[in-house]
Amino acid sequence: MSGSLVIAGLGPGAEAMVTPEVRAALEQASDVIGYIPYVARIAPREGLRLHPSDNRVETERARHALQLASEGAQVVVVSSGDPGVFAMAAAVFEAAEQGPRAWLDLDIRVLPGISAMFAAAAAAGAPLGHDFCAINLSDNLKPFELIRRRIALAIEADFVTAFYNPRSLARPHQFAEALALMQDLAGPERLILFARAVSTPQQQLRVVALKDARPEMADMRSLVILGSSRTREAGRWLYTPRRV
Amino acid sequence: MSGSLVIAGLGPGAEAMVTPEVRAALEQASDVIGYIPYVARIAPREGLRLHPSDNRVETERARHALQLASEGAQVVVVSSGDPGVFAMAAAVFEAAEQGPRAWLDLDIRVLPGISAMFAAAAAAGAPLGHDFCAINLSDNLKPFELIRRRIALAIEADFVTAFYNPRSLARPHQFAEALALMQDLAGPERLILFARAVSTPQQQLRVVALKDARPEMADMRSLVILGSSRTREAGRWLYTPRRV
């Protein structure tokens, strides 16, 4: 049997959000590779090797997956959310392009998952109901100056903006800087959603005006959505009308 | 039994991309409401009323759903893709806010789905692997001038950009205009993906440089993704590296 490599999205946390095609791929797998907490979601069974690895080793993990698939294994690389959004799919194609030519010819499939921003939006109402963008606030892979520039242009375009990886222990001050920039450019009354551990029993949602937003409202498990100028509250719901 | 209203995403087309929580909601439903081709995806069964309706009647459809739920029905409004992305969730909250106060207090849940842009990206590789935005090219609900402005700012920010509803019979010339603007601002070599009927047996993917892109490459069933300056091809894959 020749090897294969599936890059699968597990969704934001709830098992009821894992698609049947991802579930089927996991049932066929000989090897599951991913960041420790995502691999921890996979039930062990005979004949399945689990390869949990630490954060920030995406390239090594991608090479390992490609190597195993090239040796004949049925490999599934698991990401949380959607694997194409600030996750493992791009890392695998980078590694495949830089590795032996045969790696690009492997049987590779990407299986989409429910991305954190859609689960957060759904829990809060429909804040992404109009044109929107998604920005990764981690500056591990890009300069913070580019992040500032993108925030400014997103506000100028009046996009709703979803922020992934807003805050980590390694860079606590940057989200404060990003938030100050938003307050400056979008004004004190603009609504912002802090969504934490979406779809899990620990889920917390909080909607505030920018003037009341504090950096501590976000942590490593948070997804933050800054509304457009039209985003509004109705009862307990946050939504962005379809009309401008 | 008191009524409830679920706004559910059916994903882009493949049944294997429908999440278990959406499937469970459909099994509990007394009434399913939506655009004709989406309701056609729901298997009839005893005790289930299907309410297919035409395109462009989103507000009437939302009111109908809220009314039925307020009368005690278990209503599921179905959208393709994710219901929060250019789909029914925002329409329901608009109608709920404008309707009787009791409508906002109904038991409402939004269940996310696999959005067309993530399914298209997954089929092509990982073009959304870096910061990105999503723009609805339909000008039914916003002026085309705003669309032009957002395209220009998205290219200035070097976002990857997903375009929903690029082209319809009613407005064939606008996508040509949008494409000309992209060619002007992003240059002739920038890569663009035309993805049609993603995840269905009719799926077609085509990646070309902007200089070779033609308006006719998109139709009503297409999702178009314009790469950032970093988006590249590797073998048969299209992806955007995580680093800038």
Whether residues A94 and B142 touch (CB distance < 8 A) is answered with no
Which segments of chain A does DSSP mark as H helices, in order? 20-28, 36-39, 58-70, 88-98, 116-124, 144-156, 172-186
Q: Which tokens in the block code for residue A202?
A: 């620990």
Nearest to B76, CA basis, from B100, B105, B42: B42
Residues of B in contact with A126 (CB under 8 A): 83-84, 89-90, 92-93, 110
Closest Cα in chain B, distance from residue A1 (Å): 22
Show the domains of chain B with their CATH numbers.
4-114 (3.40.1010.10), 117-239 (3.30.950.10)
pLDDT band at A1; cut points 50, 70, 90: low
Tens of pLDDT, residue by residue over A204-237, are: 999 999 999 999 999 989 999 999 999 999 999 9
Chain A nearest-CA residue for B7: A122
Which whole number is the average pLDDT over B162-189? Answer: 91
Q: Which helix (H) or strand (E) covers residue B25, if one does? A: helix B20-28
Whether residues A111 and B122 touch (CB distance < 8 A) is answered with yes
Chain B nearest-CA residue for A120: B112
Chain A nearest-CA residue for B104: A235
* Mutation site, B27, B28, B55, B82, interface A, largest A CB count within 10 A: B82
Whether residues B235 and A105 touch (CB distance < 8 A) is answered with yes
ipTM of the complex: 0.96
Nearest beta carbon to residue A90 from set B115, B119, B242: B242
Q: Is the pLDDT of residue B104 over 80?
A: yes
User: Are the CB atoms for A31 and A51 separated by under 8 Å?
Assistant: yes
Q: Is the pLDDT of residue B241 over 80?
A: yes
Q: Which tokens in the block code for residue B176?
A: 């040509």
Q: Is the pLDDT of residue B227 over 70?
A: yes
Distance, first Cα to last Cα, chain B: 55
Closest Cα in chain A, distance from residue B225 (Å): 13
